[in-house]
């Protein structure tokens, strides 16, 4: 039987994720979370310093591993470059549009000054996550297929546009016609991929 404090902690995380998914990250507050969980705000502050700390820990504990597993589904670092990037984009797009809370936390995590501190607390080092993607990029640089940039630049060039398109997808859910479709994702992916390739004369 699990301790009551562990059950309570799991309930706090589950309810926080539900509020983020249903109402958006900006509408999550410690007071709203405490009321929904049927506990006092003080109980939440025992585990989390503030809302920012809660969000970063939710990202690491509830999203990071699941997102890695989803985006790497049927992906192989030895894939041809264009095919590999397509697979990563489609996997990422499919996961994120079906897990809005994860997308909100990923976006928040990218901008949060607490993220590096949280990584240090959890002893998460560069390369602990998404290692196959780093291997994929290194292989393609060494083969002279793509331009040689630092890994951080490759990630920004190749994957930030996909996240921006997911943001547009959610924006268009309240509009008459959804313009961000899998076909749009593939067309944009090809445009991004072509830009990083080394075009030999």
pLDDT at 118 over 80: no
Q: What pLDDT is recorded for position 121?
A: 76
Fold of 55-196: Tetracycline Repressor; domain 2 (1.10.357)
Q: What pLDDT is recorded for position 5?
A: 61
- Report, in this order, helix, strand and coil percent for the chain, each rounded to 5: 75, 0, 25
CA-nearest of 50, 112, 85 to 190 is: 85
For residues 97 and 135, what is the distance between their CA atoms, to the nearest angstrom? 26
Q: What is this structure's pTM?
A: 0.85
Q: Give domain limits for the chain.
A: 1-47, 55-196
What is 1-47's CATH number?
A: 1.10.10.60
Q: What pLDDT is recorded for position 89?
A: 97
Give residue 119's pLDDT band: very low, low, confident or very high (50, 70, 90). Answer: confident
Q: What pairs with residue 120 in β-bridges?
A: none
φ, ψ of residue 102 in degrees (nearest 5)? -65, -45
φ, ψ of residue 144 in degrees (nearest 5)? 75, 25
Report the Cα 111 to chain-centroid distance in Å. Answer: 12
pLDDT at 188 over 90: yes
pLDDT at 2 over 50: no
For residues 88 and 162, what is the distance between their CA atoms, to the nearest angstrom? 10
CA-nearest of 80, 75, 59, 177 to 124 is: 59
Contact 72, 176 (CB under 8 A): no
The stretch 158-168 carries a mean pLDDT of 94
Tens-digit pLDDT profile for residues 67-87: 999 999 999 999 999 999 999
For residues 197 and 23, what is the distance between their CA atoms, to the nearest angstrom? 40
For residues 68 and 144, what is the distance between their CA atoms, to the nearest angstrom? 27
The stretch 7-18 carries a mean pLDDT of 84
């Amino acid at each position: 039987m699990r301790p009551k404090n562990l059950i309570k902690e799991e309930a706090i995380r589950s309810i926080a994720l539900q509020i983020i998914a249903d109402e958006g990250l900006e509408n999550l507050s410690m007071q709203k979370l405490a009321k929904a969980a049927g506990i006092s705000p003080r109980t939440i502050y025992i585990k989390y310093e503030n809302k920012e700390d809660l969000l970063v820990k939710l990202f690491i504990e509830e999203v990071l591993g699941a997102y890695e597993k989803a985006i790497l589904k049927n992906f192989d670092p030895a894939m041809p470059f264009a095919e590999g990037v397509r697979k990563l984009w489609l996997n990422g797009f499919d996961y994120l549009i079906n897990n809005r809370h994860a997308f909100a936390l990923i976006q928040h995590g990218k901008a949060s000054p607490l993220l590096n501190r949280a990584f240090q607390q959890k002893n998460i080092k560069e390369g602990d996550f998404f290692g196959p993607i780093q291997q994929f990029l290194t292989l393609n640089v060494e083969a002279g297929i793509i331009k040689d940039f630092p890994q951080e630049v490759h990630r920004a060039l190749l994957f930030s546009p996909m996240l921006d398109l997911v943001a547009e997808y959610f924006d268009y859910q309240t509009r008459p016609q959804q313009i961000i479709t899998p076909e749009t994702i593939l067309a944009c992916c090809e445009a991004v991929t072509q830009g990083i390739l080394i075009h030999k004369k």
